[in-house]
Structures are given as C-alpha cells and as structure tokens.
Amino acid sequence: MQEPMLREQKSLTAVNDFFEERPQFEESFNQESNTIIRLVAPIKENAKPYKVTGIQDTASNNNWKAWLYLGPVLILLVVFLLYPLINTICISFMDNYSQITGHSDGFTLNNFGVIFGITETACGGIEQNFSQYAIPNTFIIVVLTVPISTLIALLISVALNSLKWFKKFLQTVFFLPYVTNAIAIGMVFSVMFDNHGIINTIFHTDTTWIVGADRATAMVPLCIYIVWSSIPFKILVFLSGLQGIDAQYYNAAKIDGASKAKTLWKITVPLMSPQILYIVVTSFIGAFKEYSSIVGLFNGPGTINGSHNMYTIVYYIYDNLATHTSYAAAAAVFLFAVILVFTALQLFVSKKRVYY
C-alpha cells in the first residue's frame, strides 16, 4: 500500500517541478476569470502569448475563402439592389430630373407633394391619379386578396394532405397556375368576364366586368384573378409544413374527441405559424407590387379609354418612369416605406404568435 502512494507522490512532485522549471507553459487555471485553460503545446521563446479567445483553427484561417465565395453575390447585391435603392431615393428629391441627361434643377420636396395632389406639377395642374386611384386600389387589393388567398390555400393544403388517392395529380393541377404566364391567364379571365362570356352566361346576367366597367365592379374579376393565381405557391409551402407535423398531436386530438375544425385551429395552425408568417409577409409584399394582373386583365390602367381608374402604385411608377422620373421615384420611395412598415409590424406581432 505504501509503494503506490510513494509513486503517486513522486509523480505529483515531478509534475510540479516540471511546471516550475518550464515557465513557458501557462497556468491551467485562471483564478481571476475563473476559467480553465487547456494546454495545447509548449510556448516557444519567441512565440506570441496564448489567448483563450484567440485560438486559431482551420475555419478562422479560411475566412478569406468564404469572402471569396460570397464576393460575386455581394457585388450583384450592391449593383442591382443597394445602388438602385439609393439612386431612387436621391432622384425622388431632385427637381425636374432628366433620365436621359441625368441632370436636375436641384433639391426639392415637391415631388412628394405632386404625387399626393398637394402641389401643382411643373406643367400646372394637380396630379390626382396617384392619390385617387393608385393608393386606394393597391390597398383594396392587399386587404382583400391576402387573407382570402391564405385561408383558401391553407384549407386546400389540409384537404390534400389527408388524401391518399390522386394526391400527386391534384397537387400538379393546383400548381399549374404558378407556372403559367400571367398575361395569358389575364387574357383568359378577360374573355371569361366579357359581356358575352361564360360568367354572365352561367349566372344569367349582363354585367359589364371589364371594358367600360366602373372601378368597384372591375375589382371583382381582378381580385378573383389575383387570388386564383397566388394560391399555388401558398399550397406548396403549406404542404411542406404539414408534412413536418408529428402525427402524435392528431392522435391525441382523436383520443380527446376533438372535432376537425378544433384540430385545425388548435393544432395545425399554431404548428404551421412559421409557414403562415412567411406566406403572409410575402403575400403582402406581392400584393403591394401588383402590376401584371392589371395589364393582362384590362390591357391598361383603366376600364374606359383614357381613364386611370385601375391604377396601382407600381403601374403608376412604370407609367411615369420615362416622362416624369422624379414623380415615379417618389412613388417608389413611398411604396418602399409602406412595405417596410407593414413588414416590420407583421414581424413584431409574430413574436408572440409564431411558434418555432
């Protein structure tokens, strides 16, 4: 019993002597920071002092490779995203800006006053198309199409996920509008809602939906078209979320005797809140930027020749980009601010409503 104890004491003594004789090794315990330092290798005479927070490994030495791979993407983001954004903001504050020459008459705030109908244009008169048609139409589209399309897509996704037969076939059918040209779909809808189209034939009416219709009536086929064309992508996202939900939650709901509606709103919706948040945010952004549906359905900004009663904010921007660039830039900055505020509000509300 004494020999092992003597050997252990000798080994401890040898270790202590080793550390005392080799000061180039740092202490294994730092009492000030209360941290344990792992000794990797002895420190050479001219080597830099060992730092716990400065450990260099393979990943830190290869950071330049990561920046090299990210370089082309960052350049594209700066050229096609950051620079146009800054340039548009600058143009929105330029007086009488010329897109051809790139010159202006100085700094002004009148561009925002002009688009909102507060101040007169350079040619005289008041611009009313933006405040009277573009802003109300855009907000009507956002308020109506986003909730309706999201709810319909969620219900269809739940129904498709519970099917066993023809599931793949129905998924393909519902996804077809997403890969179809938007202008072609708009032309089909314009024929369907024509005075002698299939809609009036089915419902035995003579309502004017497209050409010559008033704004309230024309909003009906427009919103139907936007909802129908935006559903496929939402279904795809919701189906991917449904397949990730554990079946034990539904089995527990069946044991408790919960109805399908209660299971949907108490289990499915909370567990799919990340996908719902993503769909709602992207749908709001897409609805605020609605343009192609107006072109495809009405072939212009109005239902009557010379009118702009179907203007949207993005349509106003494209329509004035060449002739009144400063006004178009001001409208683009206004749209950017609105989308930014709506997105920030949705993300703020989602902190208490989204479960990851």
Q: Please state the rounded mean pLDDT for residues 242-267.
A: 88
CA distances from residue 345 to 129, 342, 348, 350 in whole angstroms, order as listed:
28, 5, 5, 8
Tell me what percent of the residues of the chain surpass a pLDDT of 70: 82
Taking 50 as the threshold, does the pLDDT of residue 269 lie above it?
yes
In this structure, of 277-286, 297-306, 327-336, the range with the lowest mean pLDDT score is: 297-306
Extract the tokens encoding 188: 């089909």
Q: What is the SS3 assignment for 30?
A: strand
> What domains can you pick out in the chain, each with its CATH number?
16-55 (no CATH), 64-115 (no CATH), 129-320 (1.10.3720.10)
Tell me the pLDDT band of 210, cut-offs 50, 70 and 90: very high
Q: Residue 351 and residue 223: Cα distance in Å, rounded?
A: 30
In this structure, of 17-21, 161-165, 263-267, 341-345, the range with the lowest mean pLDDT score is: 17-21
Tell me the pLDDT band of 18, cut-offs 50, 70 and 90: very low
> Would you list the DSSP string of 247-279?
HHHHHHHHHTT--HHHHIIIIIHHHTHHHHHHH
State the pTM of this model. 0.78
Q: Residue 120 and residue 113: Cα distance in Å, rounded?
A: 8
Tell me the pLDDT band of 277, cut-offs 50, 70 and 90: very high
Tell me the pLDDT band of 275, cut-offs 50, 70 and 90: very high
In this structure, of 10-24, 216-230, 270-284, the range with the lowest mean pLDDT score is: 10-24
Taking 60 as the threshold, does the pLDDT of residue 26 lie above it?
no
- List the one residue out of 44, 122, 22 whose CA is nearest residue 325: 122
Q: Please state the rounded mean pLDDT for residues 207-221.
A: 92
Q: What is the SS3 assignment for 94?
A: strand
Extract the tokens encoding 124: 């005289």
- List the one residue out of 73, 230, 231, 227 whose CA is nearest residue 155: 231
Q: Which residue has the tokens 């199409």?
A: 145
Q: Residue 177 and residue 100: Cα distance in Å, rounded?
A: 39
Q: Residue 32 and residue 341: Cα distance in Å, rounded?
A: 48
Q: Residue 311 and residue 31: Cα distance in Å, rounded?
A: 71
Mean pLDDT rounded to a whole number for the chain: 83
Q: Residue 98 and residue 85: Cα distance in Å, rounded?
A: 18
The pLDDT, as a whole number, for residue 322 is 86
* Residue 340 and residue 322 in contact, taking contact as beta carbons nearer than 8 Å: no
The pLDDT, as a whole number, for residue 221 is 94
Q: Residue 187 and residue 336: Cα distance in Å, rounded?
A: 30
* Residue 275 and residue 238 in contact, taking contact as beta carbons nearer than 8 Å: yes
- pLDDT tens-digit profile of 105-159? 888 889 999 999 888 887 777 888 999 999 999 999 999 999 999 999 999 999 8
Residue 49 carries which DSSP code?
A: P
Q: Please state the rounded mean pLDDT for residues 85-92.
A: 94
The pLDDT, as a whole number, for residue 49 is 52
The pLDDT, as a whole number, for residue 237 is 92
- List the one residue out of 311, 287, 276, 251 whose CA is nearest residue 144: 287
- pLDDT tens-digit profile of 29-54? 566 666 655 555 555 555 555 455 55
More confident residue, 160 or 57: 160
Q: What is the SS3 assignment for 54?
A: helix
Taking 90 as the threshold, does the pLDDT of residue 341 lie above it?
yes
Q: What is the SS3 assignment for 186?
A: helix
Q: Residue 48 and residue 43: Cα distance in Å, rounded?
A: 8
The pLDDT, as a whole number, for residue 34 is 62
> Would you list the DSSP string of 36-50?
EPPP-SPPPTTSPPP
Tell me the pLDDT band of 257, cut-offs 50, 70 and 90: confident
Q: Residue 319 and residue 115: Cα distance in Å, rounded?
A: 13
